[in-house]
Amino acid sequence: MKALTWQGKRDVRVETAPDPKIEQPSDAIVRVTSTNICGSDLHLYEVLGAFLETGDILGHEAMGIVEEVGPQASEHLQPGDRVVVPFNISCGHCWMCQRQLYAQCETTQVREHGKGAALFGYTKLYGSVPGGQAEYLRVPQAHFGPIKVPQGPPDDRFVYLSDILPTAWQAVVYADIPKGGSVAVYGLGPVGQLCTRIAHHLGAGRVFGVDLVPERLATARQYGAEVIDAGHTTDVPGYLHDTTDGRGPDAVIDAVGMESHGNPIAKIGQQMVTMLPDAVAEPLAKNFGIDRMGALMDCIKTVRRGGTVSVSGVYGGSIDPMPMMEMFDKGIQLRMGQCHVKRWINDIMPLVLDDADPLGTESLATHHLPLDQAPHGYDIFQKKQDGCQKVVLRP
């Protein structure tokens, strides 16, 4: 089969890889029909290469058609089923899964590295599981994980159920926005865009969107967000305080993560780590602060006293400095974590099945590319060129 493989910093290539096979009774094999490039994939492209091996298959947002099913998954799936594959691999029956904490599944936890549930295509820290930017995907724990969707509507209606749509839903729920209240979303990439739409849907009165990229700001404005261009607003937290009666929004969502703008020293530190040999870079990345935290710091400054900061952007450092005095004094709540995908599917599914497409899933992708153009997709997504906001690959 053809698959996108990691070869080094900013170097991904489509190569021939062995076709996946059933390895465990609960496996399934899925022929991939759509698979996305996620903002989290860009962290692998740029910062987290120390945890990858040459030839690793990337990708964790995939859907397709079931080709083969192991005996323990046959009650849940049949060949020919159309499915979306959640990015985290969970068993559905362990102590954590019984509490709907699927991203912490104790069956697939990567205990060697002290991490939660295994993830598709996301480094040895999360199990070195071959990813979905390929023609075929082996799906472990297929008796529980895959989400069956109907034939008919286009893949773009459903493929985001794999990650970014439930991730945005969880971010908004965690933000605990009062009915009619206000929320500011920092970062208007695909997750941030969906956060603004979901916040409106769930009853927020005012939704602010903060970004630097004109196309992202324009898209968020089309869906009703009050947008703020961080490149032309010298004090974004101050502006948001001024426009919310001097208090700040009730909730703030960080949809940016470790590679935010605003800290040139941290950026240099990230770049230095990527140039070191893996044996040196890996402990530095795991045990020290490799994050550029400008967005998170602004979120903490922005939120009103007694409000909530919800973090959906990925961070990787262990000793990142946090403004604990400010956080304690303001009495804020901070919620974060990998998305528990299947926890939110019953809430979201009626919206993606609605012919009106209220969350705008069919228009979210700006680029649809064949798999062999995936390296180009990574390049323009990372550089924010050609108006690129989301890339869907078609193997």
Give me the residue spans of the domains in the chain.
2-163+340-394, 165-336
Q: Smallest Cα–Cα separation from 45: which of 360, 378, 297, 273?
A: 378
Q: Is the pLDDT of residue 2 over 50?
A: yes
Tell how strand 2-8 and strand 62-69 pair up: unpaired
pLDDT of residue 376: 98
Q: Give percent above pLDDT 70 in the chain.
A: 90
For residue range 286-305, list pLDDT tens digits in order. 544 445 688 899 999 999 99
DSSP H stretches of helix in the chain: 39-46, 95-98, 155-158, 164-175, 190-201, 214-222, 236-242, 264-275, 278-287, 294-302, 324-330, 341-353, 374-383
- CATH code for the structural domain at 2-163+340-394: 3.90.180.10
pLDDT of residue 330: 97
What value does the mean pLDDT take over residues 57-84? 97
Q: Output 51 or 233, whichever has higher pLDDT.
A: 233
CB 292 within 8 A of CB 263: yes
Q: Smallest Cα–Cα separation from 80: which of 30, 146, 154, 137?
A: 30
Q: What is the DSSP string of 72-111?
A: GGTTT--TT-EEEE-SB---SSSHHHHTT-GGG-TTT--G
pLDDT of residue 294: 84
What value does the mean pLDDT take over residues 79-94? 98
CATH 3.40.50.720 fits 165-336, yes or no: yes
Q: Is the pLDDT of residue 248 over 60?
A: yes
43: confidence class by pLDDT, cuts 50, 70, 90: confident
Q: Give percent above pLDDT 90 in the chain.
A: 85
